[in-house]
Structure 1
């Protein structure tokens, strides 16, 4: 392998205020059984989607959106225990739709990769930048970098950090037991505030999603596909050799990062928002990874949902761009359903 320079993505800056939680999902936005337009669509989402929904999706649709974000395992538990009842739920791992949520259908709509985001203005960040893609783990092992990560019991990023380190221990010739050498309990922060710890000086670097670094314009080390959980070709023979057991007893197997969404309360408004949410160009703008087959539906998908997303994909293809039809989504869906 050859050393690669750390990757920096310079896009627009998103303010912390714009990413704030808009309200408690499920408080408003319920729809009638006749599919009538609701006033507000409530979305309960993975923490890594919060900025993208607030600053990319919300301005792109005519329907008011109410957002609440947590780690995806927490999102699933809140719904399963009846604490929240949103119109739309979106999680960072479709495995959570197998249990505990078990909806009749869902759509996989985007992917991500695990990266090492870092603050270049700190001594620890400088050491990571010097180590680069080939040696990033060395300053972590010797304790010269203050690291942040998320709780594997609360969200997929937490257990994907464990998967990445386990795979890295096998991938690099001179690395072993990186989980044991690098990880400590006091490194854990909520997903929604992980990267903001750079501003407080609490950490030099974070095991994060690519989009989290891109959104905040932080530098990051892009990891090889064999360990960053982004490439489907490594799913069965490589990623799947890792696993983590949640407190509920559910065993999560390693695999390509896959975000999923479903509508819990069907309405014209919910379908239009879901369509824009799962086909919009804002996802790529915010650092997420898109594939041609997205959104990929699983289960008994309502015809009105399938028609809406298929029409958006057709419009995008006709216009020659990946998701150019986002701004007209609402009016398109009104005709289709």
Structure 2
């Protein structure tokens, strides 16, 4: 039986007001280039530029970035896209950030090692579930005791959204989720049926726009995104929510190959960060990554997990950053 998670609106406690969060999200969605903005107005010599997974846009722009500026006296500038797009931009040389943040640890290592970096640190974890509008027919069923897979299999056109699997780990995790659920619950054809039905959103920051507007029932998202948008979140079993490392072997049995030919295996949803080898401001980059590791409470307040197993280092991590 699938359990319904607590409504994130009752779990936030003290923190950014809903109006501020929604104003930011609206601004982010309206920015086609993906550049959300600069949190402060310090000089560029004291600026850190971060190119990050889109699912962290609100956490970094509203919480971590301003705290970093206040503590370190450096300006924060963030830009947010699907992690696959982030890696492509760096490989093609169209973006030159100091810090790179990925929603899939192996994606960063596969695409950037060893030419563009030879280290990274894992700093936060997440889980995949379904954010929904309880006032829609499907959302009302998700709020009840019906198994989630019996609900979304009835989705019609535009009822269900996923991030584009060819652009974003959240998208290919949705495909892998459908594959794992198909096996676990003996749902023949479930994966392909859901991929055929779901609307694919190329801009991760817009994934929940339709749900918020009341013209889409639900979307496959990370938990922190439901918190960001103040939407109810349907929790899924650990066996396929990519949130429990003890199920890593099971996750790895599900795969998705992107249109670029990248074969992604299912992996726990963990974020990692690195500083580019040829960063314009490597000192600022290392300071920012260190700040991420030293302020887990900021990340937890944004709906992310930072347990005893994090942070973890990989490769030749600079001594100043080593967890």
Short-chain TM bin: 0.7 to 0.9
Q: Which of residues 55, 76, 101 is equivalent to 1:90?
A: 101
Give 1:142 shift.
2.2
Contact 2:103 / 2:169 at 8 angstroms: preserved in 1?
yes
Contact 1:109 / 1:279 at 8 angstroms: preserved in 2?
no
Contact 1:279 / 1:295 at 8 angstroms: preserved in 2?
no
> SS at 2:226's partner residue?
helix
Q: Which of residues 215, 222, 225 is equivalent to 2:235?
A: 222
Q: Which of residues 16, 33, 42 is equivalent to 2:22?
A: 16
CA 1:69–1:185: 2 relative to 1, 3 Å: farther
Contact 1:131 / 1:138 at 8 angstroms: preserved in 2?
no
1:230-245 equivalence runs, <5 A = 230-236=243-249, 238-245=250-257
1:254-265 equivalence runs, <5 A = 254-264=266-276, 265=279
Give 1:302 shift.
1.1
Give 1:59 shift.
1.8
Contact 2:162 / 2:200 at 8 angstroms: preserved in 1?
yes
Q: Which is richer in strand?
A: 2
Q: Which residue of 1 aligns with 2:110?
A: 99
Q: Which of residues 104, 113, 116 is equivalent to 2:127?
A: 113
> SS at 1:226's partner residue?
coil
Q: Which residue of 1 aligns with 2:285?
A: 270
Give 1:177 shift.
2.4
Q: Which residue of 2 aligns with 1:66?
A: 77
> Greater Rg, structure 1 or structure 2?
1
Contact 2:275 / 2:282 at 8 angstroms: preserved in 1?
no
Q: Which runs of 5+ in 2 are unaligned?
A: 29-34
CA 1:230–1:277: 2 relative to 1, 3 Å: same
CA 1:106–1:128: 2 relative to 1, 3 Å: same
Give 1:131 shift.
4.3
> SS at 2:152's partner residue?
helix
**Aligned pair count?**
292
Contact 1:92 / 1:257 at 8 angstroms: preserved in 2?
yes
Quote the Cα distance in structure 2 between the aligned partners of 1:3 and 1:157. 20
Contact 1:166 / 1:178 at 8 angstroms: preserved in 2?
yes
Q: Which of residues 295, 298, 303 is equivalent to 1:287?
A: 303
Quote the Cα distance in structure 1 between the aligned partners of 2:282 and 2:109. 24
Quote the Cα distance in structure 2 between the aligned partners of 1:125 and 1:217. 15
TM-score (ref. length: structure 2): 0.84
Contact 1:71 / 1:191 at 8 angstroms: preserved in 2?
yes
Is the aligned partner of 1:129 residue 2:143? Answer: yes
Contact 2:3 / 2:145 at 8 angstroms: preserved in 1?
no
Quote the Cα distance in structure 1 between the aligned partners of 2:160 and 2:36. 29
